[in-house]
Amino acid sequence: MQQLLFELGLARTELGRTVYDERHLCHSPQERLFYEGEWVEGLLPPTDDLPLRQAQYRRFAMRVNQARRELGFAMPSRRARWTAAHAALDGQTMAQWLQAQQLDEAGLLWYLDYCCRDDYGAGLAEVSAWAGIQYFASRHGFHAPGDAEGERDAVLTWPEGNAWLTQRMAQGLSEQLFTGRSVLRVRESRHQVELLAWNETTQAPERWSASQLVLATPLFVAQRLLEAVPPALQAATQQISYAPWLVSNLSLKSALLDRPGVGPAWDSVTYGSPALGYVDARHQTLDPTPRPSLITHYWALPRQQRAALLSDDWTTWAQAVIAELAHTHADLPQQLQRIDLARWGHAMSIPTPGVRGSAALAALREQPQGRLHFAHSDVAGYSVFEEAYTQGAAVAARLAREVQSPRRKS
């Protein structure tokens, strides 16, 4: 990942330290939380006059530090060893673990639930304690307000999201890259892999063949594409469940009326809300030309709502998003010019108990299944760019080794 960031010009070394291109670092203010009638800085519920909350923040920070020190966590997760202690965390939900630690303060629980919904698409009652701790221990740790934090992790962000990265990764591959095809079927035969694809431009089927195939589609898609499903894939897809997401882009006539407290930030979240708040898509712009505002609202929905997300009329969901945002911006209905909804039925694999430690997923991560190599972030058990990229790079390295010294094929 670091190497990619350097190659893309996002990072450079200055006096022995890694420095990021400021245009792509998230501009200040980064995050704000709507809490008890006003916006406060950061996403952690404040501790004013709440000694119990401060004490539990400290205790949780200690637990995370202890886990980092004694067990080891890393991003990408494959860099950390997997021990019986990790497996024990993976065997329970984060809610169960917190209860066992007697960590039960409402503000702490809300914040941790929000973090899990934001990164994993599901809350404390669903994700494993391994995932809940990985969130902090593999990155910046957890810091109670007022405690020494050290240097904060850099946040890189783009209005177009990960598309900024994928477009640049695709540059220079024009001759080799064939997009706009939906793969319909994959068949592995003795000497090759055959693919049936639908060319979306010519509206005609195409046949492709290869000696090895990297499947970087979500695993539930891979399972449907393969004529013969390898047992590890069969087992893994039975273990994985996916979170549906609703992502809405709202074009506004002008900036929204704000409530008291901290001014507009990149990410604005409401305490107690079932949704994840909104990002100001123009926060990073350096162009001073006045333009209408554009915000992106994120909502990881409970799995039980997947069917309704598909079947309900779009206006029902638009109304739900508008009502959510109107809690903090009463003028939103009048300011709204256009709303675009993207319904993702299976947006992210949820790291429920047992998923990270799954032997089937480990097999898909680490070994080819015949001529098939699996490279989707699903094989990590959860969904972030770092995991997706690392798996892709690992599979590419495996294939490069294969080309240099091919295995004997009987």
Ligand X SMILES: Cc1cc2nc3c(=O)[nH]c(=O)nc-3n(C[C@H](O)[C@H](O)[C@H](O)COP(=O)(O)OP(=O)(O)OC[C@H]3O[C@@H](n4cnc5c(N)ncnc54)[C@H](O)[C@@H]3O)c2cc1C
Q: Residue 110: count other Cβ atoms within 10 Å of its Cβ.
A: 19
Alpha-carbon torsion, ordered 88, 90, 92, 93, to 10 deg: 150
Min dist. Cβ of residue 180 to ligand X (A): 9
Residue choice 348, 361, 372, 395 for contact with ligand X (CB under 6 A) = 348
Binding-site size, ligand X (CB under 6 A): 20
Q: Which residue type occupies 235?
A: A
Given the rule CB under 6 A, which of 17-25, 29-37, 317-325, 382-390 is the region that contacts ligand X?
A: 382-390
Which of residues 105 and 378 has its CB atom nearest to ligand X in the complex?
A: 378
CA separation for the pair 207, 194 (Å, rounded): 7
Strand order in the sheet with 204-210: 181-188, 193-199, 204-210
**Among residues 215, 173, 162, which one has the least CA distance to residue 386?**
162
State which of positions 249-308 bind ligand X (CB under 6 A): 298
Which of residues 142 and 266 has its CB atom nearest to ligand X in the complex?
A: 266
Residue choice 218, 277, 353, 381 for contact with ligand X (CB under 6 A) = 218
Angle between helix 51-70 and helix 129-137 axes, rounded to 10 deg: 90
> Going residue by residue from 327 to 346, which x/- string records binding to ligand X, judged by CB under 6 A?
-----------------x--
Which of residues 218 and 277 has its CB atom nearest to ligand X in the complex?
A: 218
Q: Is 77 in the site for ligand X (CB under 6 A)?
A: no
Min dist. Cβ of residue 342 to ligand X (A): 8
Phi and psi at residue 22, in whole multiples of 5°? -65, -25
Q: Is 10 in the site for ligand X (CB under 6 A)?
A: no
**Among residues 130, 340, 136, 362, which one has the least CA distance to residue 232?**
362
Given the rule CB under 6 A, which of 6-14, 30-38, 139-147, 379-387 is the region that contacts ligand X?
A: 379-387
Q: Is 245 in the site for ligand X (CB under 6 A)?
A: yes
CA separation for the pair 79, 92 (Å, rounded): 22
Min dist. Cβ of residue 312 to ligand X (A): 19
**Among residues 227, 219, 235, which one has the least CA distance to residue 189?**
227
Q: Is 377 in the site for ligand X (CB under 6 A)?
A: yes
Min dist. Cβ of residue 393 to ligand X (A): 12
Which of residues 58 and 181 has its CB atom nearest to ligand X in the complex?
A: 181
Q: Which residues are CB-contacts of 60 (< 8 A; sequence separation ≥ 6)? A: 101, 103, 108, 112, 142, 144
Given the rule CB under 6 A, which of 27-35, 105-113, 211-219, 251-259 is the region that contacts ligand X?
A: 211-219
State which of positions 173-202 bind ligand X (CB under 6 A): 182-183
Alpha helices in 16-105 (DSSP H): 51-70, 84-90, 94-100
Contact present, 32 and 38 (Cβ < 8 Å)? no
Contact present, 38 and 259 (Cβ < 8 Å)? yes
Min dist. Cβ of residue 218 to ligand X (A): 6
Given the rule CB under 6 A, which of 77-85, 167-175, 230-238, 381-389 is the region that contacts ligand X?
A: 381-389
Contact present, 279 and 294 (Cβ < 8 Å)? no
Residue choice 162, 167, 319, 337 for contact with ligand X (CB under 6 A) = 162
Which of residues 90 and 119 has its CB atom nearest to ligand X in the complex?
A: 119
Q: Is 383 in the site for ligand X (CB under 6 A)?
A: yes
Which of residues 63 and 373 has its CB atom nearest to ligand X in the complex?
A: 373
Q: Is 24 in the site for ligand X (CB under 6 A)?
A: no
Given the rule CB under 6 A, which of 11-19, 148-156, 253-261, 384-392 is the region that contacts ligand X?
A: 384-392
**Among residues 58, 51, 107, 157, which one has the least CA distance to residue 272?**
107
Residue choice 217, 223, 239, 273 for contact with ligand X (CB under 6 A) = 217
Q: Is 164 in the site for ligand X (CB under 6 A)?
A: no
DSSP state of 303: G
Q: Residue 50: count other Cβ atoms within 10 Å of its Cβ.
A: 15
Contact present, 109 and 96 (Cβ < 8 Å)? no
Given the rule CB under 6 A, which of 68-76, 148-156, 383-391, 395-403 is the region that contacts ligand X?
A: 383-391
Residue choice 55, 80, 156, 216 for contact with ligand X (CB under 6 A) = 216
**Among residues 315, 326, 321, 279, which one has the least CA distance to residue 299?**
321
Min dist. Cβ of residue 68 to ligand X (A): 21
> Contact residues for ligand X (CB under 6 A)?
162, 182-183, 216-218, 221, 225, 245, 247, 298, 344, 347-348, 376-377, 383-385, 388
